[in-house]
Amino acid sequence: MIVARGSLYTRLALRVSMVIAASAAVLLAAMWYTTQVAANEAYDRLLTGNALQIAENTWLQGDNVTVDVPVAAFMLTPGVRTFYTVLDPQGRSIAGDPDFKPPIPWERLAEGPLLFDGVYQDVDVRIAVLGRRLAIDHEHPWAVVAVAQTKAARLSFAKSLSGNALIVIAVMAILTVLAATFTLYQTLAPLERIERALAERDPNDLAPLKMEVPAEIHALVSAINGFMQRLSLHQGLLRRVIGDAAHQLRTPVAALLSQVELLSTQSDETRKQAHLVRLRTLTTNMGRQIGQLINHAMVQHRADSAIPARLDLAELVRGEMADMLSSWHERDLQALDVGMDMPDQPCLIDGDATTLREAVKNVLGNALLYGAPGLLHVNIVAAGPYWEVHFIDDGPGIALASQASVRAPFSPRSGNRAGGSLGLSIVEQVMAAHGGAMLFSHDEAGHFTVVLRLRAAPA
């Protein structure tokens, strides 16, 4: 039972949307990081520039450090608060905010502007520390300029850039999802065409689908065509079996009903017994004919569906012959010369045991019914890459002119024989399904021989 669990289109669209959403999230995170870095670099350059302007206007006058703070150093960016202080070599504040006392890394002042984060007046600030070397003899011959800016503006600037990027990314992601879902719809359109082609077909139309499809679903269409071909073959087989049964059983059933009518109106005991004998004969023949029709259908079916297995041909023939002789009641077998000659080693073949037994049984049945008045020998011999089963009897055999027609089902029968003439046609079909052959010949003594040739199994 096939259960539909959601739409393939919905499943693919959802997965594509998830991939696009994840990609957009990664891109947004990368954008946020890069805007943070860009904002910090921009504001750090501004902060360093302010410190450099103050340092350039700081000099030594006598023994005192003098500073002339330029106004341009405090051109404020909106939302930015700036704090500064200028320290002499003794660490005393000579300009700016005396309460602003950031830690001064005296040993690193020669490296140039130093930037680090800090807190002043309970506000997060970014601090730039810059040293101006003085021509004095002192442990720290530096005038130190420290400038701090609040960080709120740079965060706001980064958020603004990220927000704009978010809008762009969101719009692009939505457009990409729409384009992807439309592309998926177009990609899955061939499946809808296949579904429509099958739905619009007549229930009895099992012809292969003929349409251009993408390479990815070519295997699916080929599998559908293969299935319809097998279904067509089985339907044809079923129709033939039904037609054969209707055609072959019409006359025996009519004869049987006629005998029943005659028997019901007959008062003479002698004639009544004759009708009973005729009725028994008709019933036996019709039973045999029905069995042949069923076996014929079974052989045709198994020719396409049976899986070959490794078999010992000698054991199969020996077992079937023993069953036939022990259950045969149509004639007295006491005076029949029965013989079997088989190799000591296993006679291995690859085949279907059920249909091969049916073939052997039909050949033996024909020999016991219509030949072998005094002799029936079965020999298995090796013939190159084949095993051959020889069924030898001393009966009249099959005339050369009839050897082709007996291979076909329902061929005309000689000698007023009852049945559907299916025995040897079943054997022919079994041999064809196994890549073998059924042959007719006479041995050196003139006895008629039916030969079943089957390819030996590879070692």
Residue 446 falls in which region: left (phi positive, over 0), alpha (psi -120 to 50) or beta: left
Say what angle helices 269-305 and 423-433 make with each other, to 10 degrees.
10
User: Could you tell me if 335 and 430 lie in one domain?
Assistant: yes
Compute the distance between CA of residue 144 and CA of residue 137 in angstroms, rounded to an integer. Answer: 16
Give residue 76's pLDDT: 57
Compute the distance between CA of residue 382 and CA of residue 364 in angstroms, rounded to an integer. Answer: 21
Q: What is the pLDDT of residues 221-268, one digit of tens each?
A: 888 888 888 777 777 766 766 666 666 667 777 777 777 777 777 777
Backbone angles phi, psi at 371, to 5 degrees: -145, -155
Last residue in a domain, options 159, 189, 212: 159
Least confident of 267-281, 317-331, 337-351, 393-407: 267-281
- Residue 181, strand partner residues: none
Handedness of CA 99, 104, 109, 112 (dihedral sign): negative
Q: Of the segments 107-116, 186-195, 412-421, which one has the largest average pLDDT value?
A: 107-116
Give the confidence band of 313 by pLDDT, cuts at 50, 70, 90. Answer: very high
For residue 319, is pLDDT > 70? yes
User: Could you tell me if 15 and 147 lie in one domain?
Assistant: yes
Is 415 exposed, middle or buried, given 0-12, 13-18 or 19+ CB atoms closer than 10 A?
Answer: exposed
Neighbours of 69 (CB within 10 A): 17
Compute the distance between CA of residue 28 and CA of residue 289 in angstroms, rounded to an integer. Answer: 83
User: Could you tell me if 256 and 321 lie in one domain?
Assistant: no
Percent of the chain with pLDDT over 90: 15
User: Could you tell me if 300 and 348 lie in one domain?
Assistant: no
Neighbours of 379 (CB within 10 A): 18
Q: What is the CATH number of the domain that holds 45?
A: 3.30.450
For residue 172, tell me if it sits in a domain. no
What's the mean pLDDT in 270-274? Answer: 80
Last residue in a domain, options 305, 339, 362: 305
Find the distance separating the first CA and the last CA of the chain, reported in whole Å.
Answer: 42
User: Could you tell me if 255 and 332 lie in one domain?
Assistant: no
Q: How many domains does the chain have?
A: 3
At position 407, the amino acid (one-letter code) is R
Is the separation of the CB atoms in 8 and 184 below 8 Å? no
Q: What is the pLDDT of residues 405-426, one digit of tens each?
A: 888 776 655 544 544 467 788 8
For residue 191, tell me if it sits in a domain. no
For residue 198, tell me if it sits in a domain. no
Give residue 438's pLDDT: 94
User: Could you tell me if 383 and 416 lie in one domain?
Assistant: yes
For residue 133, tell me if it sits in a domain. yes
For residue 154, tell me if it sits in a domain. yes
Q: Return the exposure string of 87-119: e unless at least 16 CB atoms fall within 10 Å of the residue's CB, then b.
A: bbbeeebbbbeeebebebeeeebeeebbeeeee
Give this prediction's pTM.
Answer: 0.50
For residue 2, tell me if it sits in a domain. no
The position carrying tokens 């001064």 is: 104
Q: Choose between 240 and 427: higher pLDDT.
A: 427
Compute the distance between CA of residue 164 and CA of residue 389 in angstroms, rounded to an integer. Answer: 90
Q: What is the pLDDT of residues 37-74, one digit of tens each?
A: 888 888 888 888 888 888 888 888 877 888 888 876 66
Give residue 389's pLDDT: 95
User: Could you tell me if 389 and 275 lie in one domain?
Assistant: no
User: Could you tell me if 442 and 330 lie in one domain?
Assistant: yes
Backbone angles phi, psi at 89, to 5 degrees: -60, -25
Give residue 420's pLDDT: 47
Handedness of CA 270, 273, 274, 275 (dihedral sign): positive
Q: Where in the sequence is the domain holding 379, given as residue range(s)? A: 307-459
User: Could you tell me if 280 and 299 lie in one domain?
Assistant: yes
Q: What is the CATH number of the domain that holds 448?
A: 3.30.565.10
Backbone angles phi, psi at 383, to 5 degrees: -135, 85
Give residue 397's pLDDT: 87
For residue 171, tell me if it sits in a domain. no
For residue 296, is pLDDT > 70? no
Give residue 193's pLDDT: 83
Give residue 419's pLDDT: 47
Last residue in a domain, options 278, 305, 332: 305
Q: Of the segments 35-49, 139-153, 275-289, 372-386, which one has the largest average pLDDT value?
A: 372-386
Is 142 exposed, middle or buried, given 0-12, 13-18 or 19+ CB atoms closer than 10 A?
Answer: buried
User: Could you tell me if 363 and 405 lie in one domain?
Assistant: yes
Give residue 327's pLDDT: 81
Give residue 220's pLDDT: 83
Is 285 exposed, middle or buried, given 0-12, 13-18 or 19+ CB atoms closer than 10 A?
Answer: middle
DSSP string, 185-248: HHHTHHHHHHHHHHHTS-TT--PPP-----GGGHHHHHHHHHHHHHHHHHHHHHHHHHHHHHHH
* Residue of 20, 27, 8 whose CA lies nearest to 176: 20
What's the mean pLDDT in 161-174? Answer: 83
User: Could you tell me if 96 and 221 lie in one domain?
Assistant: no
Angle at CA of residue 159, ends 154 and 160, nearest 5°: 95
Give residue 379's pLDDT: 94
Q: Of the segments 155-164, 193-202, 446-455, which one has the largest average pLDDT value?
A: 446-455
Average pLDDT, the chain: 82
User: Could you tell me if 141 and 276 lie in one domain?
Assistant: no
Least confident of 190-199, 243-252, 380-389, 411-420: 411-420
Compute the distance between CA of residue 221 and CA of residue 99 in angstroms, rounded to an integer. Answer: 84
For residue 6, tell me if it sits in a domain. no
Is 199 exposed, middle or buried, given 0-12, 13-18 or 19+ CB atoms closer than 10 A?
Answer: exposed
For residue 429, is pLDDT > 60? yes
